A and B are shown apart, each in its own frame.
Chain A
Amino acid sequence: MLKLVDIFDYLAVVLSAGTLVGESLLLGGLVFRYWIARSSAEISADDLRGVQNFTMRWFGFSAIGLVVVQVLYLYVNTAVLMASAAIPFKEATGATFFIAGGIMLVAAMGCAIVSRIHGRYTAWLLPFFVLIVFGASVMTDHAASRISGRVPLIILTALHVSATGFWIGGLPFLLVALYVNRERATQWYLTRRFSQLALISVIVLVGSGVCMSVAYVGSLDALVGTSYGLMLLAKVTMLLAMLALGGINFLMLRRQGPDQVIPRLRRLVEVEVGIGITIILSAASMTAQPPAVDLPNDTVLPSHIWARYHPVWPLLTSPPAAALSTRHPGQVVSAEDPTRRIISYTSEGSPISVRVLNDMRWSEYNHHWMGLIVLAMGIFALLARTGRAPWAEYWPLLMIGIGIFIFLRGDPECWPLGPKSFWSTFADPEIFQHRAAALLCIAFAIFELRVRRNPSREGFLPLIFPLLCAVGAALLLTHSHDTSNVREETMAELSHTPMAVVGVMAGWSRWLELRLPSSKDRAYAAWIWPVCFVLIGAGLLNYREF
């Protein structure tokens, strides 16, 4: 039963991330249809009709998606509540999350239905329903549950969420519009209008974000010394990357003509959508954590960070699998057993016994060897980029090594090293994650090798690498560490979060290398991702557990 609760708990977070994405798409779609794609003296309604219809269709799909997510969310969260706290169903339906979720569900259904009806009240009903979705979402945010400064925080959250929706939620609709309508004049009109909206949204987004950061983080120490602060830094870094792309769009629109701008802009918007969705997902992770300001006793100090992460020589020898504490699940080891003797403490005060020390060394060895492989991948990719080492093009082969390494050593209590069967992979979310990552690595190697052998930029195949890389980075970004010590968890995230952000950049820079129309532009992007690989390798080599 506990396992079922764990899995449902996990699903509840996945679904809350889906809710945030759905909500942003509804806000973005609404504004795109009624503000960006509205007719004016500059462009007629006939020219825009196709875009308007397509926007409504995708708005409808987003609403249906949100309905499905909400039904599942209400079911899963209610089941978790009933199972973990023995709360009867009737009582669970009175909880804030159930009421807010129910309201959102009905409003999303309203959006889905009204978007299919082209009546005269459509333009009034849709904003009404979207506003209800938006209100229900804010009802369950951090701001609504605060004790002090509740009203200003709710207002700031509302501004932040709406600006996110208008900009990041509107980008997919701009992208679809640029695919659907091939008329340069219409594309130019939509893009320029969206650029103005994006500029205002960014100002509101950053302004409200800074104010909320002060309220929720409170100090510089908490910014680098808590999980919440680190996730915020990751979000800000990804936002800066988006702003850089947005800045390029902004300058292009004002300095060049439609024929030069639109083909390049379309590719840049693709990447903005990808990074934007990753930002929304990291925001969902943040809403599932206590704000940093609430953890004054669980903030990691800068001196402790240095003590843990100052550069040292990597560990390249491993303890045997039989010496690990996870080797015999359920085995009772007496308190007097020599392997339970406490021999040291981590910088955050967690006791280290002989067994735990072996676990830590096992994990460090894994990370360090993977660091060496990723570093080699980056260096080989850079060598291949110079054009003087054609053999280095086969660097994806190294990924197969990583996949096998994760499969064998990621979960030593599982088959083939440990007593747990292969099928336990599907019962434990953490083991499942590791094994899915191993499969991803091998899939990536196969696809990317095929791409290297046939370096055409056309078709679906070359895009597998950037997509898998971006997904893998998001996996790392939201990877939780099962520890009862909050500070230890922060310590682990201090090494993983920067690597994840660099991974996001690696994936999307490779995407740009493949998709940008000009070879000069592609050449810039082609240098970024190998450098990102080198940085990730260096980060893994410096991973430490105590």
Chain B
Amino acid sequence: MRRALQGPALYLLFLIALTGITTPLWAHAVLMQSKPASNASVTGPNVPIWLRFNVRVDGKRSRLTLVSSDGKSVDLPAPKQTAPDILETQATGVKPGAYKLQWRALASDGHMSNGEVDFTVK
């Protein structure tokens, strides 16, 4: 019996070793389209934000933040979903200047991916 189990035991070791070294290749939700578009110039002070992803995203657990050129960040109101792949909200009282829209979107497999969209408010 001891000899019979030697083969399976080796495989178990192999399996543990393999799963132990698997490396993350994270990137699930990919931003396909945005308004404002990357490097676009828009009119303030109210800026509608609209993001479309490649997959369904969990709007309730996704986060949008607006960062101004001086580094100050404001959490935007919880995004609404007009479609499963869309996040929509509005930034209000935005002064003219350069901004970064930081997004974090939760995909169905539980991974939170993130990214940025640079734009300018006139």
Contacts of A478 in B (CB 8 A): 21-23, 25
The distance in angstroms between the C-alpha atoms of A317 and B10, with both chains bound, is 42
Is A277's CB under 8 angstroms from B18's CB?
yes
Is B112's CB under 8 angstroms from A85's CB?
yes
Is A289's CB under 8 angstroms from B27's CB?
yes
| Other-chain residue from B5, B63, B108, B111 in contact with A139 (beta carbon distance below 8 A) | B108
Scoring A residues 139 to 170 as 1 if CB is less than 8 Å from chain B, else 0, what string do you get? Answer: 11110111100000000000000000000000
B93 part of interface (Cβ distance < 8 Å): no
Sampled A-B contacts (5; CB under 8 Å): A77-B110, A94-B60, A141-B109, A274-B14, A478-B22
Contacts of A18 in B (CB 8 A): 19
B85 part of interface (Cβ distance < 8 Å): yes
Is A9's CB under 8 angstroms from B24's CB?
yes
Q: Known contacts A278-B18, A471-B14: does B23 contact A480 (CB below 8 Å)?
A: yes
Is B112's CB under 8 angstroms from A81's CB?
yes
Contacts of A145 in B (CB 8 A): 28, 55-56, 107-109
Contacts of A21 in B (CB 8 A): 15, 19
Contacts of B5 in A (CB 8 A): 179
Q: Which 4 A-B pairs have the closest CB atoms?
A: A97-B110, A294-B54, A145-B55, A145-B108
Scoring B residues 49 to 86 as 1 if CB is less than 8 Å from chain A, else 0, what string do you get? Answer: 00000111010110100000000000000000001110
The distance in angstroms between the C-alpha atoms of A87 and B58, with both chains bound, is 12
Is B21's CB under 8 angstroms from A433's CB?
yes
Is B8's CB under 8 angstroms from A288's CB?
no
A287 part of interface (Cβ distance < 8 Å): yes
The distance in angstroms between the C-alpha atoms of A65 and B119, with both chains bound, is 49
Is B19's CB under 8 angstroms from A140's CB?
no
Is A480's CB under 8 angstroms from B24's CB?
yes
Contacts of A17 in B (CB 8 A): 18-19, 22
Nearest Cβ in chain A — how far from B95, in angstroms? 26
The distance in angstroms between the C-alpha atoms of A17 and B6, with both chains bound, is 24
B87 part of interface (Cβ distance < 8 Å): no
Sort chain A's interface into a size bin. Answer: 35 or more
Nearest Cβ in chain B — how far from A137, in angstroms? 10
Interface residue ranges of B73-122 to A (CB < 8 Å): 83-85, 104, 106-112
Is A467's CB under 8 angstroms from B13's CB?
yes
Is A288's CB under 8 angstroms from B111's CB?
yes
Contacts of B24 in A (CB 8 A): 9-10, 12-13, 288, 480
B40 part of interface (Cβ distance < 8 Å): no
Is A176's CB under 8 angstroms from B8's CB?
yes
Is B27's CB under 8 angstroms from A290's CB?
yes
Nearest Cβ in chain B — how far from A307, in angstroms? 25
Nearest Cβ in chain B — how far from A447, in angstroms? 14
Contacts of A383 in B (CB 8 A): none
